[in-house]
Amino acid sequence: MFRVAKVLLTGLFLAAALTAAADEQPPAQPIQLFNGENLDGWQYHLVDPDVTMEDVWSVEDGILVCQGEPWGYLHTEEKFTNFRLIVEWRWPGEPGNSGVLMRLTGDPPSFLARCVEAQLQHDNAGDIWAFYGFEVAGAEERFVDVEHDVLGRLKGVRKIQDAEKPAGEWNRYVITLRGDTLHLVVNGEVVNQAEGLTVEPGTIGLQSEGGEIHFRRVDLIPLDE
């Protein structure tokens, strides 16, 4: 009896492990949000209505170049809820500020709209911030709840560790957003996790926020709920 029970338990553990492993394996062909050739599938918002998308974002030798001024964001036309997002970025010169925006919804009241952000600001890559009523929660010792002059009440979760490479080198973000949980990996290192996120479909954005930044990969893998 005990031997049978042990075999059954072993089988259950093995099945669970295989299921978890399968869940971690992305499909062979992710969706290329940035195709390396043009900005098809993207729209934009800038604080200066007289500036065009092409004035800020361009594609050069397969790289998406963002000038960083004026402030705003590029965003997908399509909405997503649960996904794994792979973003590769670098600061070509003086490092600045930017971010990967997710579940973007509503009309932007400023240079941002309601969303959650995986921070790209130099030395802070891996921080998580939520804007305009978007909910987020995390470890008490890393949770931040502050008032911002422009953005109002901000909630965030500071990164666990720094894994960003020096300016000029390429970095790789693996961002997993499923249900109310957000998990961030920078250059192979787990840097943050947050829970309690608002669950709703929204677009994905890349910020223009004061510094030239390059992207060479923006791939998305849809995940089940």
Task: Dump pLDDT digits (tens) for 169-223.
Answer: 999 999 999 999 999 999 999 999 999 999 999 999 999 999 999 999 999 999 9
Q: 68-92 as b/e, with b when 16 or more CB fall inside 10 Å? A: bbbbbbbbbeeebbbbbbbbbbbbe
The one-letter amino acid code at 217 reads R
Three-state DSSP state, 14: helix
Q: What does pTM read for this prediction?
A: 0.87
Q: Are 164 and 121 in contact (CB under 8 A)?
A: no
| Nearest Cα to Cα of residue 153 among 143, 144, 161 | 144
Q: Sketch out the chain's domains with CATH numbers.
A: 33-222 (2.60.120.560)
Least confident residue range of 6-15, 125-134, 156-165, 174-183: 6-15
Q: 141-179 as b/e, with b when 16 or more CB fall inside 10 Å? A: ebeeeeeeeeeeebbbbbbbeebbeeeeeebbbbbbbbe
